Amino acid sequence: MTDASGPDARVAASVAGRERWQPAVIAAIVPLTPAVVSVRLRPQHTRPFLAGQHVDVRLTAEDGYRAQRSYSVASAPDEGDTIELVIERLDDGEVSTYFHDSAAPGDTVEIAGPHASYFVWRPGVDGSVLLAAGGSGVAPFLSMVRQRARLADPTPMLLLYSARTWGDVIARDELLAHERRQSGFTACFCLTRDVTRRSSDFARRVDQAVIDDMLARLGGTPTHTFVCGANTFVGAIADLLLAAGVPAGSVRTERYGGD
Ligand SMILES: Cc1cc2nc3c(=O)[nH]c(=O)nc-3n(C[C@H](O)[C@H](O)[C@H](O)COP(=O)(O)OP(=O)(O)OC[C@H]3O[C@@H](n4cnc5c(N)ncnc54)[C@H](O)[C@@H]3O)c2cc1C
Q: Is the pTM of this model over 0.75?
A: yes
**Rounded to whole angstroms, how far apart are CA atoms 208 and 240?**
6
Evaluate: CB of 72 within 6 angstroms of ligand 1.
yes
Instruction: Work out the mean pLDDT of the chain and round it to a whole number.
Output: 93
**Rounded to whole angstroms, how far apart are CA atoms 213 and 240?**
12
Mutation pick for ligand 1 pocket among 36, 49, 96, 97 (CB with most ligand atoms within 8 Å): 96
How does pLDDT run across 42-61, given as a tens digit for each residue? 999 999 999 999 999 999 99
Does the pLDDT of residue 12 top 70, yes or no?
A: no
Q: Kindly state whether residues 139 and 67 are assigned to the same domain.
A: no
CATH number at residue 45: 2.40.30.10
Q: Kindly state whether residues 94 and 199 are assigned to the same domain.
A: no
**How many structural domains compose the chain?**
2
Does the pLDDT of residue 145 top 80, yes or no?
A: yes
pLDDT band at 230, cuts 50/70/90? very high
Which atom of ligand 1 is least distant from the CA of 229?
41
Give the mean model confidence (pLDDT) for residues 174-201: 96
Does the pLDDT of residue 198 top 50, yes or no?
A: yes
pLDDT band at 183, cuts 50/70/90? confident
Nearest CA to ligand 1 atom 29: 93
Q: Give the structural domain span for 233.
A: 129-255
Nearest CA to ligand 1 atom 7: 71
Whether residue 161 lies inside any domain: the answer is yes
Looking at 61, 93, 115, the residue that finishes a domain is 115
Q: Kindly state whether residues 83 and 191 are assigned to the same domain.
A: no
Looking at 57, 85, 115, the residue that finishes a domain is 115
